[in-house]
A and B are shown apart, each in its own frame.
Chain A
Amino acid sequence: MFKNLTIGQHYPVDSPVHELDPRVKIIMTFIFIISLFVIDSFFPYLFVIAFLGIAITTSKVPVKFVLKGLRPILMIIAFTFIINLLMTPGRIIFELGFIKITEEGLKQAGFMAIRLTLLIMGTSLLTLTTSPIILTDGIESLLNPYKRFGLPAHELAMMMTIALRFIPTLMEETEKIMKAQKSRGADFESGNIINRAKNLVPLLVPLFISAFRRADELAMAMEARCYRGGENRTRMRQLKINSRDYVASLIFVVYLAAIIITKIW
């Protein structure tokens, strides 16, 4: 059942956005986030929405999926909205008891809500259109220049890849152990918090042991195939920048220019 589980939220279809070089996508996302916080009036957000709209349409990912990424942080958005609304000093436009809403507060709160929403949508688009493995490849390649300063780029990426690879395995294992303990009358669903935490011991101990055992076996299997870290290692999937990436970058530069021009005005 877990074999079909998609890790993270990668949405596997063929689209120009999916095929972009992961490095280009990561850098674009990074600058995109910065651009969101540079903007300080409502008008330029139209550019952001337009850009995001184009990106989502070309990615062939249903908007529903992109919006789904918002659900877990809806609370955070609401919370920052309310805090900003109530805590910003300025010209009071509404007052009820100790609640004071200011014009500046309303503005600030609106900005924060829009920024967070767009931020999540933008970053979701990155993970939706890039498989975790390719994403780590991109991160490794981007971190490579820092090797000179002692940053273990390859090792970090390998660790991430392995961790991602084992998420479904460990989930399967969890389910199996849970069922085995349930067969012995264990109860994971009822009781108060303390009891529930206690009831997790029969699940967590075997899970940790098996995780360590797997790690051991994997290390052995990798060594048996002469794995020695990143030095002189070639890769099966070479990252290459091609015309598609230039086109995407160009569109992105136009977007940035639009933002900057409205900012200077």
Chain B
Amino acid sequence: MSIKAENIKYIYSEGTPFRTVALDDVNVEIKEGDFVGIIGHTGSGKSTFIQMLNGLELPTEGKIIVDGTVVGEDKKKLRAIRQMVGLVFQYPEYQLFEETVAKDVAFGPMNLNLPQAEIDKRVKESLELVGFNYDKIKDASPFDMSGGQKRRVAIAGVLAMKPNYLILDEPTAGLDPAGRNEIFAQIKKLHDKSGVTVVLVSHSMEDIAKIANRVIVLYKGKIHMQGTPKEIYSNAEELKKIGLGIPQIAEIANELRKKGFHIKSDVITVEEAKVEILKELRRRKNV
């Protein structure tokens, strides 16, 4: 069970002067249980790529295979694929439209023609998954809520489809640090507890370093690097060359190492750095 992208090529406005190759020769396999981070600049093809995973865009060349089904081959299967591959867009709060939170979250399951009892159950579950008290929130209007709350409602709207794969495009864009941490904590919990495969598109190296177990770096429509966060971030020079950075803490660790401190080269989170620095300080004290 996996999402496979085989030799994907995507060309915009073919046959006009505006022709652009958005993706070129992209090969990726997202296995069940993965937590994949995708990083890249604006225009690197990230958004196009994730929209292909649930059939919103079809590749010009190549195939996307979701659990053995080729996306787009049979239009009738598109809805089933969109149920399996849940896609949360950037600023998802702008898609809210119903009078109450519960009704809005129910929109997805309703399109799946589920029985009412199942819909209600799913609405309750997904609202609780994103940290709401169902009874308190269900009759509120989504338009009276704060930005962060709206976003959680929108994410719940996708979760209510019970996707096996959850794809999030910059889920924390425009949120304050508290809101950001909350969203990330919930995504992490979702991945760990319900076993949902997560694909996360983000600008933030810190966030990706903290929670992803695999990182894909897209650059000008091509896969530039692929590997574990440690593998990717130990290649700081390469990342800087294409205008991306490494987590701040990795940067600090690198600088300390240059100054002669004995610190491991693959430090990418604050927690790891703390352990390493304390270890080094103790060693120095004992010398």
A binds B: yes
Binds A, one of B93-101, B188-196, B253-261: B93-101
The answer to whether A179 and B56 have CB atoms under 8 Å apart is yes
Q: Which of A177, A184, A187, A201 has the most CB of B within 10 A?
A: A184
Most buried by B among A173, A177, A179, A210: A179
Decide yes or no whether B153 CB sits under 8 A from chain A: no
Interface membership of A193, Cβ < 8 A: no
**Structural contact, A210 and B158, CB atoms closer than 8 A:** no
**Count of interface residues, chain A, beta-carbon cutoff 8 Å:** 20
Per-residue CB proximity of A1-44 to B under 8 Å, as 1/0? Answer: 10010000000000000000000000000000000000000000
Quick check: is A205 within 8 A (CB to CB) of the other chain? yes
B82 on the interface (CB 8 Å rule)?
A: yes
Query: Measured between alpha carbons, how far is A173 from B161 in the docked complex, in Å?
Result: 24
Are B158 and A185 in contact (CB-based, < 8 A)?
Answer: no
Contact A180 B79 (CB under 8 A): no
Find the residue from B51, B54, B94, B161 having the highest chain A CB count within 10 A. Answer: B94
Residue contact A185 to B111, C-beta cutoff 8 Å:
yes
A184 to B156, CA, bound (A): 11
Task: Give A249 to B8 CA distance when docked, in angstroms.
Answer: 57
Chain B's closest residue to A203 (CB) is B97
Q: Does A68 contact B (CB under 8 A)?
A: no
Question: Are A184 and B94 in contact, CB atoms less than 8 angstroms apart?
Answer: no
Q: Do B79 and A183 touch (CB < 8 A)?
A: no
Q: How far, in Å, is B89 (CB) from chain A's closest CB? A: 5
CB-defined contacts of A182 to chain B, threshold 8 Å: 56, 82
Using CB atoms, name the residue of chain A closest to B57. A179
Chain A residues with CB below 8 A from B82, complex form = 182-185
Q: Is B42 an interface residue (CB 8 A)?
A: no
> A185, B56: Cβ atoms under 8 Å?
no
B85's nearest neighbour on chain A, judged by CB, is: A183
Given contacts A1-B12, A185-B112, A202-B107, contact A180 B95 (CB under 8 A): yes
Q: Which of B87-130 contact A (CB under 8 A)?
A: 87, 89, 92, 94-97, 107-108, 111-112
Q: Report Cα–Cα, A250/B82, bound state, in Å.
A: 64
A169 interfacial contact with B, CB 8 Å: no
Closest to A183 in B: B87
How many residues of chain B have a CB within 8 Å of chain A? 25
* Chain B nearest CB, measured from A4 CB (Å): 5
CB contact under 8 A between A201 and B97, given known A182-B56, A183-B86, A185-B108: yes
What chain A residues lie within 8 Å of B79 (beta carbons)?
185, 187
Complex Cα distance, B143 from A177, in Å, reads 16
Q: Is A165 an interface residue (CB 8 A)?
A: no
At the interface, yes or no: A171 with Cβ under 8 Å from chain B? no
From A4, A183, A185, A206, B13 is in contact (CB under 8 Å) with: A4
The verdict on A185 contacting B89 (CB below 8 Å), with A179-B51, A202-B97, A210-B94 known, is no
The reply to whether B143 and A1 contact each other, CB–CB distance below 8 Å, is no
A144 within 8 A of B: no
Q: How many whole Å from B6's CB to the nearest CB in chain A?
A: 22
Inter-chain CA distance A89–B12, complex, in Å, is 56
Query: For the complex, is A57 an interface residue (Cβ under 8 Å from B)?
Result: no
Q: CB of A263 within 8 A of chain B?
A: no
Identify the closest chain A residue to B97 (Cβ).
A205
Q: Which residues of A are found within 8 Å of B86, using beta-carbon distances? A: 183
**Closest residue on chain A to residue B86 by CB atoms:** A183
Inter-chain CA distance A183–B79, complex, in Å, is 8
Closest residue of A by beta carbon distance from B107: A184
A186 to B158, CA, bound (A): 12
* Chain B hits for A202, CB < 8 A: 95, 97, 107
Residues of A within 8 A of B107 (CB): 181, 184-186, 202
**A 168-196 to B, binary, CB cutoff 8 A, 1 in contact else 0:** 00000100110111111111000000000
* Chain A interface (Cβ < 8 Å from any Cβ of B): 1, 4, 173, 176-177, 179-187, 201-202, 205-206, 209-210
Q: Can you list 6 pairs linking A and B with CB atoms under 8 Å apart?
A: A177-B94, A183-B54, A184-B157, A202-B107, A205-B97, A206-B95
| Contacts A184-B95, A184-B157 known; 12 new A-B pairs at CB < 8 A | A1-B12, A1-B13, A4-B18, A177-B95, A180-B87, A181-B95, A182-B82, A184-B82, A185-B111, A185-B161, A186-B107, A202-B97
